[in-house]
């Protein structure tokens, strides 16, 4: 059996956006991913379908898998001819024991590569607004492990010499030995008033940073209940945090927001929310699947030349329609002479990505506005095709008929409930800590409400804001007994995210 290959990949400090492009490419090739406690699980989304994901995390003082077993695990999978990605938090070779794992590969004759990652030693201070060097404050920086016992007879770290310098000290894994580390620095001559910062969960929306001085940081840490994983920064440079604290001042910093749209579409929304500092959690309440029978859509495709207009009301409608066109052996030429109407810029963009220009995008992104816009181009006597979900509002087809047009409404896809998310949604709400639930269609509202018994939602959503993309979705939410707190003026995903950010920006205390 041919030997596999091992990639030691730095997962970065926590923010999944800080992984390298080369790291992503390795994940795409992996047959097995063995990942750490500090490696963001969202990175597993880059791996191919069917990948074997193995958790081998070590969590401070808690029971964990031994390093020897991890080495054996990596080697065993590679010997089976698999491509193995060892996904390690931060950088594999910065206090990550990556060298020990790589040596295990060498001893077994297994080829390997090391893909560096952004170390938390640099990233966590940066996200806390603490540059590690500055020509007026610090011209050097030293990275240290805090796991070495400062009380042993001959420590490897020369704390007395480090204490006499003026450079920045960055201490990883120092929570357990904080009191002893502080005492060694004081004994070595570091002034008691030296600024100190401790950063927990750096680069993530749950990041927490406390500051103090060498002579009181232990007490401050105890008072603030700081626990690992923690990065400790010692030096005058810490004083710049007051001016450079960019991450924790974002409008949605630390806000946990549930995104209920489909898995395929949740990504763009969560990225925008994360850009505002939020902690978005994708909990899709709908999933799109093909229609039970393609007969209706296939007939419309074969007769496409009969239509004057094709109207698309969603990205899903675009995707399923054009995929079916290609599956039937046609290409874009089949649409010659057919004008295209798209509701909303995202739907229009999806059409344009297929290589087709859009003739009409109504100024308001709902069915009623389509009638007004089409009326100026004449509806009477025209034939319209509307490929959409199995269940949808009837306003558009009814109004076209009323205006003298003919319309064929065909099922391009169906929406169903993803069963496994129900328990997760309930658990998140019951545990508290959710700030906003977002809805981007009436289907997401109905499926969300169906998870709970009558009367449950009012209590579970106490203190939780409800954000809806537009008036139709908001009306459905109110029908289900929900109080709608946030709705944008423009019915788009970016506008919804902005409206949520504006809401919390004007409600700082809530």
Distance CA(498)–CA(493), nearest Å, equals: 9
Task: Please answer whether residues 398 and 421 qualify as being in contact, where contact means their C-beta atoms are separated by less than 8 angstroms.
Answer: no
User: Is it the case that residue 509 has pLDDT exceeding 70?
Assistant: no
Look up 279 and say whether it is catalytic. no
Give the mean model confidence (pLDDT) for residues 160-166.
85
pLDDT tens, residue by residue, 38-53:
899 989 999 998 999 9
Distance CA(316)–CA(330), nearest Å, equals: 19
Distance CA(342)–CA(313), nearest Å, equals: 6
At 367 the pLDDT is 67
Least confident of 81-85, 93-97, 209-213: 93-97
User: Is it the case that residue 257 has pLDDT exceeding 50?
Assistant: yes
Longest dimension (CA), the chain: 94
At 117 the pLDDT is 97
At 194 the pLDDT is 96
- The angle subtended at Cα 271 by Cα 281 and Cα 280, nearest 5°, is 20
Residue 363 pLDDT grade (very low, low, confident, very high; cuts 50, 70, 90): confident
Q: Using H for helix, E for strand and C for coil, what is the string for 407-475?
A: EEEEEEEEEECCCHHHHHHHHHHHHCCCCEEEECCHHHHHHHHCCCCCCHHHHHCCCCEEEECCHHHHH
pLDDT tens, residue by residue, 107-123:
999 999 999 999 999 99
User: Is it the case that residue 171 has pLDDT exceeding 90?
Assistant: yes
Which runs of consecutive H residues, i.e. helices, occur in 328-413? Answer: 345-352, 367-375, 395-402
User: Is it the case that residue 408 has pLDDT exceeding 80?
Assistant: yes
- The angle subtended at Cα 455 by Cα 452 and Cα 456, nearest 5°, is 45
Question: Which position has the higher pLDDT, 8 or 265?
Answer: 8
At 510 the pLDDT is 46
Look up 173 and say whether it is catalytic. yes
- Which residues is 337 bridged to in the sheet? none
Distance CA(232)–CA(81), nearest Å, equals: 41
Specify the pTM.
0.82
At 61 the pLDDT is 47
Count of CB atoms situated within 10 Å of the CB of 284? 21
Give the mean model confidence (pLDDT) for residues 420-444.
90
Distance CA(499)–CA(182), nearest Å, equals: 45
Query: What domains are there in the chain, each with its CATH number?
Result: 5-118 (3.40.1010.10), 122-244 (3.30.950.10), 256-286+418-505 (3.40.50.10090), 289-414 (3.40.50.10090)
The residues, ordered by sequence, that sit 6+ positions from 45 with a Cβ below 8 Å of its Cβ are none
Task: Please answer whether residues 198 and 222 qualify as being in contact, where contact means their C-beta atoms are separated by less than 8 angstroms.
Answer: no
- Which residues is 489 bridged to in the sheet? none
At 150 the pLDDT is 47
Percent of all residues in the chain with a pLDDT value above 70, rounded to a whole number: 95
Within the chain, how many helices (H) and strands (E) appear? 19, 19
Residue 504 pLDDT grade (very low, low, confident, very high; cuts 50, 70, 90): very high
Q: For residues 501, 503, 507 and 508, what is the CA-based torsion angle, rounded to 10 degrees?
A: 0
Question: Which position has the higher pLDDT, 153 or 14?
Answer: 14
Q: Which H or E run contains 168? A: strand 168-172
15, 88, 91, 173: which is the annotated catalytic residue?
173
pLDDT tens, residue by residue, 441-489:
888 999 999 888 888 888 899 999 999 999 989 999 999 999 999 999 9
pLDDT tens, residue by residue, 180-239:
999 999 999 999 999 999 999 999 999 999 999 999 999 999 999 999 999 999 999 999
Q: Which two tokens stand for residue 437?
A: 């639930």
15, 31, 36, 435: which is the annotated catalytic residue?
36
Q: Are strands 339-342 and 141-145 parallel, antiparallel or unpaired?
A: unpaired
Count of CB atoms situated within 10 Å of the CB of 441? 25
Give the mean model confidence (pLDDT) for residues 26-49.
94
Work out the mean pLDDT of the chain and round it to a whole number.
Answer: 91
Look up 58 and say whether it is catalytic. yes
Task: Please answer whether residues 192 and 208 qualify as being in contact, where contact means their C-beta atoms are separated by less than 8 angstroms.
Answer: no
Question: Which position has the higher pLDDT, 228 or 150?
Answer: 228
Question: Which position has the higher pLDDT, 213 or 149?
Answer: 213
Task: Please answer whether residues 415 and 288 qualify as being in contact, where contact means their C-beta atoms are separated by less than 8 angstroms.
Answer: yes
Task: Please answer whether residues 20 and 116 qualify as being in contact, where contact means their C-beta atoms are separated by less than 8 angstroms.
Answer: yes
pLDDT tens, residue by residue, 339-353:
999 988 889 999 999
3, 22, 58, 480: which is the annotated catalytic residue?
58
């Amino acid at each position: 059996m041919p030997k596999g290959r091992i990639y030691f990949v730095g997962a970065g400090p926590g923010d999944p956006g800080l992984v390298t492009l080369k790291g992503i490419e390795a994940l795409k090739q992996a047959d097995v991913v063995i990942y750490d406690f500090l490696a963001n699980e969202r990175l597993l989304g880059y791996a191919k379908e069917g990948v074997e994901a193995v958790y081998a995390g070590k969590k401070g003082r808690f029971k964990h898998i031994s390093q020897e077993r991890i080495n054996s695990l990596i080697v065993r999978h590679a010997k089976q001819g698999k491509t193995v990605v060892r996904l390690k938090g931060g950088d594999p070779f910065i206090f990550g024991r990556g060298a020990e794992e790589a040596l295990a590969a060498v001893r077994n004759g297994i080829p390997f590569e090391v893909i560096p990652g952004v170390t938390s030693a640099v990233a966590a201070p940066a996200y806390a607004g603490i540059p590690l060097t500055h020509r007026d404050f610090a011209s050097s920086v030293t990275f240290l492990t805090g796991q070495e016992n400062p009380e042993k007879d001959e420590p490897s770290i020369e704390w007395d010499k480090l204490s006499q310098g003026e450079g920045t000290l960055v201490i990883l894994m120092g929570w357990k030995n904080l009191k002893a580390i502080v005492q060694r620095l004081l004994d070595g001559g570091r002034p008691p008033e030296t600024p100190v910062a401790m950063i927990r969960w750096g680069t993530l929306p749950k990041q927490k940073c406390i500051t103090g001085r060498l002579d009181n940081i232990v007490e401050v840490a105890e008072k603030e209940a700081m626990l690992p994983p923690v990065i400790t920064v010692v030096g005058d440079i810490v004083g710049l945090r007051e001016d450079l604290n960019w991450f924790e001042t974002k409008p949605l910093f630390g806000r946990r927001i549930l995104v209920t749209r489909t898995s395929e579409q949740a990504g763009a929304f969560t990225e925008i929310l994360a850009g505002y500092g939020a902690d978005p959690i994708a909990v899709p309440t709908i999933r799109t699947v093909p229609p039970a029978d393609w007969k209706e859509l296939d007939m419309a495709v074969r007769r496409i030349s009969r239509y004057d207009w094709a109207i698309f009301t969603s990205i899903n409608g675009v995707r399923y329609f054009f995929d079916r066109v290609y599956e039937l052996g046609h290409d874009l030429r089949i649409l010659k002479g057919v004008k295209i109407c798209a509701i909303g810029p995202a739907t229009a963009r999806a059409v344009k990505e297929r290589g087709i220009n859009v003739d009409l995008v109504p100024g308001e992104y709902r069915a009623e506005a389509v009638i007004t816009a089409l009326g100026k181009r004449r509806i009477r006597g025209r034939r319209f095709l509307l490929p959409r979900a199995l269940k949808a509002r009837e306003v558009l087809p009814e109004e076209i008929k009323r205006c003298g047009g003919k319309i064929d409404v065909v099922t391009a896809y169906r929406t169903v409930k993803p069963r496994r998310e129900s328990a997760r949604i309930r658990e998140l709400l019951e545990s508290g800590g959710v700030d906003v639930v977002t809805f981007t269609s009436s289907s997401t509202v109905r499926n969300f409400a169906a998870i709970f018994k009558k009367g449950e939602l009012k209590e579970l959503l106490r203190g939780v804001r409800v954000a809806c993309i537009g008036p139709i979705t908001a009306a459905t939410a109110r029908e289900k007994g929900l109080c709608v707190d946030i709705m944008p003026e423009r019915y788009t995903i970016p506008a919804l995210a902005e409206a949520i950010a504006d809401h919390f920006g004007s409600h700082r205390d809530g």
